[in-house]
Chain A
């Protein structure tokens, strides 16, 4: 089967993730969208590994997973801290850094 199909799928999922970040105000959902984008990238990596016939792409995807795991831990901790002080998980509420 043509591996381009996987790449197109990856692009679609990535774009939907992007839309999630842009449109959802809940910080946790936005964060999920970021995870979705990372997954889409992983799919492209795995497809690449298959096309080139070596495992480097899969290893890269593995590293992405590791980094994503670390990122989730820190990100959720930050969301929790913000929620604790501002009593809200909306990304629009934390808009103090403006003109």
Chain B
């Protein structure tokens, strides 16, 4: 794969005059879109996917700037490994009230957006004319060792070998650290089913099976709350994540009417029959 990417990069370099601005505007726009998408998505999973979009587009921009190795590494490391890790953790953590975009700290959103806007404007102004020189091309640097990957390798194992070794130590430490953090030491013997049952009843909570969503309802999905015989909503029938996400289906009056009719022992059919009469 990397060979083809390199070839693509070479092609891009050779025909940079017409080719590069087009790719830059396309991928740059998509990258900004992805970033904004992450910012305003309600759901963390969506945010992760938007970030993945940004990263892939950035990878293209790397390749466009004669960095095929980094472009590939970006896709593999970030989009492949890091973002997948994020998704795994999201899977464990699940949906949470913190997904809500309602601001809880007073003034945080207003001041934050203001600061962000100021930062954008200032950075654009500052970076907009950083380089007075025209970009030198990397052809010479690449060709010294016979290519981009070889060139980076020469730097990594030559000039920056000490830092490279240090990063290895860092990675090992991170791996061990993650293990230590994620490991849960068992301090008590595993609970048997009898003990669990006792605890359940000792807590005084609801012991029976939860009412299934959608009982007395006309919808068969989990986001529809069960209705009690008097027509009110049974709170415990709704899964927590659904409530947290605010995805609970509303109850409309016709549903309530139907429930009332059923609870009074009058069949739906018979009422229809009455209507026919």
Contacts and interface: CB of A to CB of B under 8 A. Distances in A.
B82 A16 contact: no
B65 A46 contact: yes
Contacts of A46: 61-62, 65, 67, 70
B255 interface: no
A27 B98 contact: yes
B35 interface: yes
Interface stretch (B124-132, B187-195, B219-227, B231-239): B124-132
Interface residues of B, number: 90
Given A15-B116, A16-B32, A55-B152, A47 B65 contact: yes
21 contacts: A7-B128, A8-B123, A11-B127, A12-B124, A15-B120, A17-B35, A29-B47, A31-B86, A32-B38, A33-B38, A33-B39, A36-B51, A39-B54, A42-B74, A52-B136, A54-B141, A55-B141, A65-B77, A70-B171, A70-B173, A81-B182
Interface of A: 1-20, 22-29, 31-33, 35-36, 39, 42-43, 46-47, 49-56, 58-59, 61-63, 65-74, 76-81, 83-84, 88-93
Interface of B: 16, 20-21, 24, 28, 31-32, 35-36, 38-39, 44, 47-48, 51, 54-55, 58, 61-62, 65-67, 69-70, 73-74, 77-78, 81-82, 85-86, 89-90, 92-93, 96-101, 103-105, 108-109, 112-113, 115-116, 119-120, 123-124, 126-131, 133-138, 140-142, 148, 151-152, 155-156, 159-160, 163, 167, 170-171, 173-175, 177-178, 181-182, 184
Given A33-B38, A46-B61, 11 more contacts: A23-B39, A35-B78, A35-B82, A42-B58, A50-B66, A54-B138, A55-B148, A70-B171, A71-B174, A73-B85, A76-B85
